[in-house]
């Protein structure tokens, strides 16, 4: 599984959109229905799965799937 698909599979656990239906332009809150708590819990799951440390300042700027994927790429 590619990192992108692995990422979308995690996102899909938090919403009603399947990884296949998920587009990179989708916004976490407006399109995927994430609450603030969902989003922060999801970031924790990302840290555990990909064994990385996210900076709070960076993650609070993330709005879309694409921006989150770019952040993952950079780390």
65 near 23, Cβ under 8 Å? yes
Residue 19, CA distances (Å) to 32, 36, 55, 60 in order = 11, 21, 25, 23
45 or 70: whose CB is closer to another protein? Answer: 45
Region near another protein per CB under 8 A, out of 1-9, 17-25, 44-52, 67-75: 44-52
Q: Residue 60, interface with another protein (CB under 8 A)?
A: yes
Q: Determine which residue in the list 9, 14, 19, 27 makes contact with another protein, applying CB under 8 A.
A: 14
Tokens of 8: 């979308």
Largest pairwise CA distance in the chain: 30
Q: How far is the CB of 66 from another protein (least distance, A)?
A: 20
Q: Determine which residue in the list 56, 61, 73, 74 makes contact with another protein, applying CB under 8 A.
A: 56
- DSSP bridge partners of 27: 64
């Amino acid at each position: 599984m590619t990192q992108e698909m692995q990422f979308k599979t995690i996102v899909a656990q938090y919403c009603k959109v399947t990884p296949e239906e998920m587009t990179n332009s989708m916004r976490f809150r407006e399109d995927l229905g994430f609450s603030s708590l969902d989003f922060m819990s999801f970031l924790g799951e990302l840290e555990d799965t990909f064994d990385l440390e996210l900076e709070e300042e960076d993650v609070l700027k993330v709005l879309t799937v694409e921006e989150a994927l770019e952040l993952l790429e950079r780390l």
